[in-house]
Amino acid sequence: MTNRFRLVIIGGGVAGLALATRLGNTLGRSGKLEITLVDKGFSHVWKPMLHCFAAGTARNENDRITFVSHAAAHGFRFCYGEIAHLDRANKRITLAPLMEENNQLLLEERHLDYDAVVFAIGSRANDFGTPGVVEHCMFLDNVVEANNFNERFRHAIIQAYGRGTPVDIAIVGGGATGVQLAAELHKALDIGALYNFTPVTPEMRVTLLEAGPRILPAFPQNVSDAAQKQLEDLNIVVRTNTMVSGADEDGFILKDGSRVNAQFRVWAAGVKAPDVTRDMDGLEYQRGGQLTVRPSLQSTVDEHIFALGDCSFIKDAPVAPTAQVARQQAHHLARYLPGFIFNNKPVPDFRFRNRGAIVALGDYNGWGAFADGKTFGGGFLNGLSARLGHIALYRQHQFELHGPIRGAIACFTDWLDGFVRPPVRMD
């Protein structure tokens, strides 16, 4: 039995793991706070890298952070499971039963008592109820889905080499995920061609479909234009102002009645919170399922419930669902939650400081945009600076979670791994 304050963090993504690590290093290790991180997976990966795992140009074995070992090293506990219900009156969380692949019960539902809860369960692509999308499309919202895509992609490439047939891929969504995936798939094929499976490299036909007037709408117009030109130089077909009305096993049906056929159909459009947020004991949520919070990141209904990252929506002051926002919100709570917990001090309002954004198209090109609207990148050398900046963001994430020594070791391990393994996944 313990009298320590019980903080439960739901979700081990960028925000959840950063918050658990920071608080665990201080209050968890000292025994002042009981911190439990809950996640339905056993490991963390940096979500902006998922397109690389899907293409096979990065091996997530080296890029994963195992929750159990990380928790032991940083003063918090890890609980494997998925939240099913929240009982605010009794301050109790119910975790869903765990099932094996053959649908056999592995663990019954379990309960966690809390004094405060932080929801950091991220987001998923939003199919907007489009018929056939859930049944016939692949998503890239987590490492399991990225690995499933990569396995199918590798098998299709092997067949294409053996049969001399093309590989058709259609991606819905012209945001960073869709754009970067399209380029990364070409990078994977270009690298694979160096190994000379056959005298002729098979054709890969990629079509990018965007409902809006331009791709990368979060970036300035000049970056969108340059990125589209780069994709088209890679023979990627970019179709803007193209609304998808349905999907089937052969491809996408467009609003004008025409079709885009593809054996690989990827949905990377829209953002919504996981469906479970809609059944959280009366908490206010938005149409996309995001939990509505005050600027302090506390629920509009219960001050002991917080939400941050992609699954939250700040009332009257919304921010974009990006890793940069999630990271800053985690730092904000790590700084001010102790005062709220131990001294009943109010949590100050969160203020986002825009540091700009970077998009990298494989090894082909890259661009960045500062908060004032100025941009950089494009061309080989300038594009290189943007691509290196994208890598630097990932290394910053590693150093923040691991600390300087382990972070440096992780970087060295990744560098060394490049000498002993091929640069694209083949097994």
Give the confidence band of 393 by pLDDT, cuts at 50, 70, 90: confident
- Residues 228 and 216: their CA atoms lie apart, in Å, by 9
DSSP H stretches of helix in 234-369: 323-343
373 token code pair: 């609207």
Give the confidence band of 23 by pLDDT, cuts at 50, 70, 90: very high
Specify the DSSP element, H or E, that contains 288: none
Helices 176-193/221-233 angle, 10° precision: 30
Residue 35 contacts residue 10 (beta carbons within 8 Å): no
pLDDT at 62 > cutoff 80: no
| Residues 6 or more apart in contact with residue 66 via CB below 8 angstroms | 42, 43
Q: How far from 279 is each of 89, 149, 312, CA to CA, in Å?
A: 15, 30, 15
Give the confidence band of 425 by pLDDT, cuts at 50, 70, 90: low
Summarised one tens digit per residue, pLDDT across range 25-52 is 999 999 999 999 999 999 888 888 899 8
Q: Residues for the chain: how many in total?
A: 427
At 1 the pLDDT is 43
Specify the DSSP element, H or E, that contains 164: none
Which of 349, 330, 333, 351 lies closest to 341 in space, CA to CA? 333
Burial status of residue 198 (CB atoms within 10 A of its CB: 0-12, 13-18, 19 or more)? exposed
Summarised one tens digit per residue, pLDDT across range 73-123 is 999 999 999 999 999 999 999 999 988 878 888 889 999 999 999 999 999
Place of tokens 């923040």: 400
| Residues 6 or more apart in contact with residue 95 via CB below 8 angstroms | 38, 79, 81, 82, 83, 84, 109, 110, 111, 112
pLDDT at 72 > cutoff 60: yes
Specify the DSSP element, H or E, that contains 311: none
pLDDT at 416 > cutoff 90: no
- Residues 355 and 10: their CA atoms lie apart, in Å, by 27
DSSP letter for each residue of 40-80: SSSEE--GGGHHHHHHTSS-HHHH-EEHHHHHHHHT-EEEE
At 330 the pLDDT is 97
Give the confidence band of 404 by pLDDT, cuts at 50, 70, 90: confident
224 token code pair: 């969108």
User: 279: helix, coil or strand?
Assistant: helix
Taking residues 274-303, what's their average pLDDT? 92
Highest mean pLDDT among 180-194, 216-230, 353-367 belongs to: 216-230
At 5 the pLDDT is 95
Specify the DSSP element, H or E, that contains 148: helix 143-163
Which of 38, 42, 40, 45 lies closest to 64 in space, CA to CA? 45
Amino acid in position 256: D
- Residues 88 and 282: their CA atoms lie apart, in Å, by 9
Taking residues 273-302, what's their average pLDDT? 91
Helices 14-23/380-402 angle, 10° precision: 40
DSSP letter for each residue of 95-145: EPPEE-TTS-EEE--EEEE-SEEEE----B---TT-TTHHHH-B--SSHHH
- Residues 97 and 83: their CA atoms lie apart, in Å, by 10
Summarised one tens digit per residue, pLDDT across range 215-237 is 999 999 999 999 999 999 999 99
